[in-house]
Amino acid sequence: MEKIIEKKTKGSRKKPRYGIRKLSVGVVACMLGYFVFMPTTIINATELKQNDFNSRIEAMDLGDKSSSGNTDAENSGYAPNGKYSFQDLKFNPEILDRENKANEVKFEIYGKHNIAASTDNWKINLQIDERIAKYITKIEVDPKTGTTSGRRVLSRKNDTLGRSTNIWQVNYIRSANGLFAGAETTDTQTAPNGIISFEKPLNEILAEISDEKLASDKLFYRIYLTSKQDNGGIVPGIDSTGFFFVNGIDHYPEESESLENKDWFKHSSVEARYIKNEKFNNKNGAIVVDHKISKNQNFAYNTSAKNTPWYLKYGVDSRLVKYIDGIELHMMSASSSTTPDYSVNNAKNRKVAELSIERREDNKDYGYGLIMDNDLSKNLVNFNNALPTPVTIRYVYKLNKPMEEILADLKKEAGVEDGKAFGDDFQFFAWLTDKSQTSLIPNTYGAGFYRVQDIDGDGQTDDEEGNIDQSPYIGIPIIKPPYQGDKKVHASVLLNENAGNGNKAELINKNGETIATISDINAVDEEGKPATMTVELEFQIGDPSKLGDVGDDVTVRIIPSDERYPNGEEATVQVKEAPVAVKAPVEISKDADLTNDNAFAKKGIKNANSMPEGTKYSWKIKPDTSKIGEKTGVVLVQVPDRDEAFEITVPVKIIQSFEVTVTNPPKQTEGKKILDGTKVISANEENFTVSDVHDEGLNSGISIDKNGNLTGTPNKLQWGDEESTTYEEQTIKVHAIVTSEDGKTEKAVVVNVVVQRDTDGDGTPDIKDNDDDNDGVTDQEELDKGSDPKDPNSIPMIDITPIGKVDIENEGQTATDKTAIKDIVIKPSDKDATVVVDGSKLPNGVTYDDTDKTI
C-alpha cells in the first residue's frame, strides 16, 4: 500500500499555553488533571490572591540545557477499580527559597496500602517540571523510616521511542528495591530524607524562571503509581500532582490556621477527572474532583476535632463557572475498603448534598462555595473515624454542555485551528476550616486542576480517549468519501510523534470485511526522527465491488502499535454515487465547436444533478461533428472531492443544426399599420415557433407573431431634437426566442425595425413631407424664420407696413335720437389706402360710403 507523508508547517508546531511540557511532543491522553497540593508550613508571603491561581499557563520554550527528549505526562490508561489495596501516594517537597544557594531540594514521599505485597509489579512515577528537571543530576531517598536498607536512587524513564523523559521511577515495595514495607498495612508510611540534586544553585534556577513566571506558571510535579501487569496502567486514585511552593510567591487562602487541630493531618491533594455517567443524571458528564487528605494518626472527627462544626470550602476556575450546571457532594465510603474503589458506579460512593457557588462575577467569592453540617462525619464526609485511612471528599461539577464543545470553545478563544494540538487547565480548590470559617485546618488545603487537552487535535479530550483505551497520539482519521466502483480510497490522520512506528490502517466495508490495509505508518520525518505530522493514506482496492453500493458505510480504522491502546481510532463515511452516462444519445448540431463546451458534456451525464456542487464537465475525447450520425465521446467529470476525474463514455448523435434567418423589414412609418405578411424570421424548419418577444420596454407597438411576421403599428415613440439621431427616424430592436420544431433548440434573435417619423399623421413620413406639421407653411420657411416645423402651433412672423397719418372730420360728436348727424369723413394721408369699416357695429340708420370714405 502506498503511504504519503505530509510534514507539518512550522506554524503548526506552536505550543499551547502551559509551562511544564512541550505539547508538540504530546501530552497524556487520559490525564486526570494536574492536581496541586500545598505544603504543610504556612508562609508569611507576598500577597497573592486566590483568584491568581486561575491564571492561564503560558507556553515557554525550554533552554539549551533541556535534558528531556519528551516532557509529556505519559498516558498509560487505568487499572481496574477495586483491584488493588493502595490508598495513598504523595510527594512533599520542601519550600523553595529564592535566596537558597544550595544545589539541592529536600522531599518526602508518603504511601499506604492495605494488603501485604512483595513484588516489583508497582512503580512509583515522579514527573518534575522541565524548567528545573533539566538541571537535575540525581534523585535519591531513603526507604520507609526505620529500615536498614540503603538509599534508593530513582532512575530516569525513557519513552516508547527511547528518549529520556522528565519522569523518574522507583519500585513501591521495599523488598523489591523500593520505598515502602510490603508487610506494613496500617498507617501511611514515609520515605524520608529525599534529595533532588541540581547542577547549579537553586537561586540561579529560580531567577532564570523569574518571579512573574513562578507566580503564573507554577513549578508542577506529578506522582502516580503504575502496574506492570496492567500494561503500565495507573492505579485508580493513586495519581496526583502539586507544585513546588515558593517562599514569597505562594500563600494559603485563609489568614490563619486552627492550631488546636494542627496534629491530625499530614498532607492534602486534589485530583480531577472528566467522567460521563448516568448516575449524574446529566448527559454532558461532569468533572469529578476528589479532595484527599492523609492522616498523621487515627483521627476521629467526633472525638478528635476541635472548634467544630468544621466547614468544607471549595472553588473552581472562574472560566469554568459558565459551564457548571450543578454541583454534588459525594460521600466516598468505598474508598476506605481494603481494595479501594474510587469509581462512580459503586453504590457506597453516594451523593449526599447539592452544592452551590457564587456566580456574581463582581463578587470576591466568585466561583467559590462552602457547606457545613452539625454532624459532618455522619451526613457529609466519611472521615474513616479512628482509622489511619486517608479521607476522600468528592465534588462532582456537572457540565451544561459536552466536554467536546467546551474544548471547541477554548480552542476558538485561543485561536487554535481545528486539527491542532491544544491544552488548557481548569483549576480546583478544596480545604477545611474550623467553625470560625477563617482558620484553616492545617494540611487540608489542596489546589489542582483538570486539563482540557487534545494532543492529537481530533476534537476529543485525551482523557475521554483514555477511558475507552484509544491512543491520544492518533487523531480521528479524515476520509474522502469514495465513489462507487473506486479502486482507491484516500484518507489522512494526524499522528503525534509519540504515536511511534508500526501503526496500521484498515479499510473496512459495511460487512466488517477488511478490504485494504496499510502497514508501517510511522510518526517520523524524512530523516527518520520522531515528528508530529499528518500522514496521507491511499488504500488500493483489489476488487472495487467490495467497496459497496451507494450509501453503504465504509470505515477507516487506525490501529496503534502501542499495546496499551487496543481500540483504534475510527471514522466512517458513505459510498457516493459515481457519474453515469445517459442511454439516449446527446444530440449535437453538425459542425458544432466543442472546444470549450461543458453544456453538452454535462448533458451526457445521466445523474449530473446528483454530483457535488462545483463539479466540472469537459470533453477528453470530442465527438466528430463534421458529419451527421451516431458517435461517442469521452466526458471528464471532475468532482471537487476526488483527485482524479471520472472518464465517462457517452453516446452522441450529430444532427443537422437548426438554422434561423433574420430579415430586417423595410422602413416603417409612424402611426401606419405594418403590412400583413412582413416576414422577418425564417428557419430551415417549417414548424418553428417564436416566443418571448419584447422591444426592450419601449412599448413601440411593434411585435412579431409566432410565425415570424412583423406586426403592429409603430406609435408612442420618443423623438429627439434636430441635433439627435432620432429626429426623423429611429431603430427599434425587437428581441425574440426561436424554438425548433422538436423544442430542443432555442436561438435568441434581434430584428432591427427602422421607423420614420410622421408628425401630422398624413401617411407621408416627415423625411419626405415638405410641411411636416401641415400648418400651411413649408418646413424650409419655418426653419428660415425660426419656427418649429414639427409644431402646427408654431408659425413664422408676418411683416407689417405702417399706413401713415389718418384725419377724421367731425369725430367725437354727440347724436340725438331721430336727428341727423354731421358727415364723418375719413381722410388718410395715403390716397391709395383702403379704409374698412365694420358696418355691423354702426347704429341703426347710420351707414358708410366707401367711395368718398364718409359715414
**Model confidence over 64-110: pLDDT tens digits?**
334 566 666 566 677 888 889 999 999 999 999 999 999 999 999 99
Looking at residue 52, its pLDDT comes to 35
> In three state form, how does the secondary structure of 283-329 look?
CCCEEEEEEEEEECCCCCHHHHCCCCCCEEEEEECCCCHHHEEEEEE
Point out the domain boundary residue: 518, 550, 574. 574
Is 763 inside a domain boundary? no
Is 784 inside a domain boundary? no
The verdict on 616 and 637 lying in the same domain is yes
Residue length, the chain? Answer: 855
Q: Is the pLDDT confidence value at 22 over 70?
A: no
> How far is CA 505 from each of CA 349, 515, 561, 607, rounded to the nearest angstrom?
41, 11, 11, 33
The verdict on 695 and 815 lying in the same domain is no
The verdict on 608 and 515 lying in the same domain is no
| CATH number, domain with residue 360 | 2.60.40
pLDDT tens digits for range 791-831:
888 877 766 566 778 888 888 777 777 778 888 888 888 77
Is 852 inside a domain boundary? yes
Looking at residue 799, its pLDDT comes to 60
Looking at residue 656, its pLDDT comes to 82
pLDDT band for position 788 (cuts 50, 70, 90): confident
Helix (H) or strand (E) holding 452: strand 446-454
Which range has the worst mean pLDDT, 222-231, 288-297, 420-429? 420-429
The verdict on 631 and 674 lying in the same domain is no
Beta bridge partners of 512: none
Sign, CA torsion 104/110/116/122: negative
pLDDT band for position 32 (cuts 50, 70, 90): very low
Distance separating alpha carbons of residues 199 and 46, to the nearest angstrom:
29
Is 707 inside a domain boundary? yes
First to last CA, the chain: 136
Q: Which amino acid is at 332?
A: M
pLDDT tens digits for range 636-649:
999 998 989 999 99
Distance separating alpha carbons of residues 224 and 235, to the nearest angstrom:
8
Q: Are 34 and 53 in contact (CB under 8 A)?
A: no
The verdict on 450 and 352 lying in the same domain is yes
Cell of 557: 480504522
**Nearest residue to 548 via CA among 576, 567, 572, 585:** 576
pTM for this predicted structure: 0.63
Point out the domain boundary residue: 243, 277, 306. 243
Is 701 inside a domain boundary? yes
pLDDT tens digits for range 671-707:
999 999 999 999 988 899 999 999 999 999 999 999 9
Question: Within 10 A of 486 (CB to CB), how many other CB atoms are there?
Answer: 21
Helix (H) or strand (E) holding 446: strand 446-454
The verdict on 389 and 299 lying in the same domain is yes
Q: Is the pLDDT confidence value at 44 over 60?
A: no
Backbone torsion region of residue 444, taken as left when φ is above 0, otherwise alpha when ψ lies between -120 and 50, otherwise beta: alpha
Over the chain, what is the mean pLDDT? Answer: 85
Q: How many domains does the chain have?
A: 6
Is 636 inside a domain boundary? yes
pLDDT tens digits for range 346-389:
999 999 999 999 999 999 999 999 999 999 999 999 999 999 99
Task: Tell whether omega for the bond before 309 is within 30 degrees of 0, i.e. cis.
Answer: yes
Question: Could you tell me whether strands 155-158 and 220-227 are parallel, antiparallel, or unpaired per DSSP bridges?
Answer: unpaired
Sequence-ordered list of residues with C-beta below 8 angstroms from that of 110, at least 6 positions apart, any chain: 88, 89, 90, 92, 188, 189, 190, 191, 266, 267, 294
Sequence-ordered list of residues with C-beta below 8 angstroms from that of 679, at least 6 positions apart, any chain: 663, 708, 709, 710
Looking at residue 241, its pLDDT comes to 79
Structural domain boundaries, residue 847? 801-855
Point out the domain boundary residue: 574, 606, 623. 574
Is 791 inside a domain boundary? no
> Residue 205 CA to chain centroid, in angstroms?
42
The verdict on 323 and 364 lying in the same domain is yes
The verdict on 278 and 202 lying in the same domain is no
The verdict on 665 and 637 lying in the same domain is no
> How far is CA 75 from each of CA 33, 167, 234, rounded to the nearest angstrom?
12, 12, 9
Which range has the worst mean pLDDT, 32-46, 407-421, 477-491? 32-46
| CATH number, domain with residue 695 | 2.60.40.10
The verdict on 597 and 703 lying in the same domain is no
Looking at residue 6, its pLDDT comes to 35
The verdict on 459 and 340 lying in the same domain is yes
The verdict on 324 and 439 lying in the same domain is yes
Is 268 inside a domain boundary? yes
Looking at residue 27, its pLDDT comes to 33
